[in-house]
Each structure stands twice: as C-alpha cells, then as structure tokens.
Amino acid sequence: MAKLEVMDHPLIQHKLTIIRDKNTGTKVFREVVNEIARLMAYEVSRDMPLQDVEIETPLVKSVQKEIAGKKVAIIPILRAGLGMVDGMLDLIPAAKVGHVGMYRDHETFEPVEYFVKLPSDIKERQLLVVDPMLATGGSAIAAIDSLKKRGATIIKFVCLVAAPEGIKALQEAHPDVDIYTASLDEKLNENGYILPGLGDAGDRLFGTL
C-alpha cells in the first residue's frame, strides 16, 4: 500500500481554519489555498532523488547535489484543482501542467469527465494530481484512471481536505498512489459533502456560490 500522509504542520492547520470559515471571502480563500499548496509542495517533493553534479564555487571545484529522476507534471482536476497550481509552481517552477476536467453529478455523485489536456511526455514524468477535496473519491479515481490509461505510472495525489470514505476508495482503486492531505476530516454528509469540510471548493474559489 502506498503512503498516506496527513500534513498537520501548525502553519497548515492555521491556514486551513481560515478557508474553512464561511466568512472568508473569495479573494482570501484563493490566496490561502495557494499558500497551503506551496507548503504541501515542499513536503511532497521531500523524496525526490538527487544526483551528484560537479560545479566550481568561487574557491574550488566541488561535487554537490541536484534534483534527478523523473521530471514533474502538476495535474489539477478542474475546476477546484486550479486553485492549487500556482502554489505548487512556486516551488517546482519547471513543472509542466496538464488538466483533467471532472465534475460530480449532483444526484448520483458519479464523476463525469469533460476535458483532458496533458503534456505529451506524461509517461516519463512524475505526476502530482491536485484537487482540494477528496470526498467519495470518485473524481480522483476517475482522473487517475484516465491518466493511467494514457500511460502515466508515477502518481501522487495531493488534496487539502479528505474524508475517510474517499481515502479508502482511492487506496482500494489505486494502491500504488501516495496520498497527501492537509486534513483527514470526520465523514461525508448525505449530499456527499465533507464534514466539517469547507463547502464547495470550486464555488468558493471562483465566487460562483
């Protein structure tokens, strides 16, 4: 089974409280989602392999380290995943960005794919699939199915708030995918919303409430 990491750093917990608050408006919500994504990128990249590289300092020749291994692509699940992209790019600026459009049918909660545009070399890249919410897990599972069908092999899933139901479903469907979340919340309500959660992430990011 792949890794499940709950990133409960104090800064992340503090910022999550801000975006959970229903009185937080769109501007601040968007800024703080990006700030959390930036902090998460630091931790998600912790196991990136390094290789030796010879350089010259102003004083001597020296062997130092540089990032090696597969290059990164960030894959937001539309819409709400877009809110995490800039924060991730702040720390991994050379990453390419692919998009998977997925919405949940409001009655069945089943994911519906409506758009896919990916870098041509996703087989050679490590993919960071980002979406603030992991609720039933349907959207994440379908997005990752879609990426694997197109040849992706190394995938991490990064979210802000996860429900236990979504974690279980994603781990069962894709046991090879590491999951990083800023919070493991209590449960889903009868409408498939995470409790306590933060509401509809896409609507809060884009002001479409």
Which residue numbers belong to the known binding site?
79, 104, 131-139, 194, 199-201
Catalytic position from the list 121, 176, 203, 208: 203
Contact positions vs ligand URA (CB under 6 A): 80, 133, 135, 192-194, 197, 200-202
Q: Which residues are annotated as a binding site for uracil?
A: 194, 199-201
Q: Which is nearer to ligand PRP, 123 or 187 (CB)?
A: 187
Catalytic annotation present for 108: yes
If phi > 0 it is left, if psi is from -120 to 50 it is alpha, else beta; for residue 35 that is: alpha
Q: Where are the beta strands (DSSP E) in the chain?
A: 4-6, 50-56, 61-67, 71-78, 96-97, 99-104, 111-117, 125-130, 133-134, 154-162, 178-184, 187-188, 194-195
Q: Which does 194 bind (CB under 5 to 8 A by kind): ligand PRP, ligand URA, none?
A: ligand URA
Q: Give the shortest CB-143-to-ligand PRP separation in angstroms.
A: 8
Strand partners, 103: 112
Six-digit token string for 39: 């902090």
Catalytic annotation present for 145: no
d(CA 181, CA 104): 20
d(CA 183, CA 5): 9
Catalytic position from the list 8, 108, 121, 150: 108
Q: Which does 77 bind (CB under 5 to 8 A by kind): ligand URA, ligand PRP, none?
A: ligand PRP
Question: Tell me, what amino acid is at 99?
Answer: H
Contact positions vs ligand PRP (CB under 6 A): 77-80, 102-104, 109, 111, 131-140, 166, 192, 200-202
Cβ-contact 145, 117 below 8 angstroms? no
Q: Which does 146 bind (CB under 5 to 8 A by kind): ligand URA, ligand PRP, none?
A: none
Q: Which does 134 bind (CB under 5 to 8 A by kind): ligand URA, ligand PRP, none?
A: ligand PRP
Q: Which residues are annotated as a binding site for 5-phospho-alpha-D-ribose 1-diphosphate?
A: 79, 104, 131-139, 200
d(CA 98, CA 59): 42
What are the catalytic residues? 104, 108, 200, 203
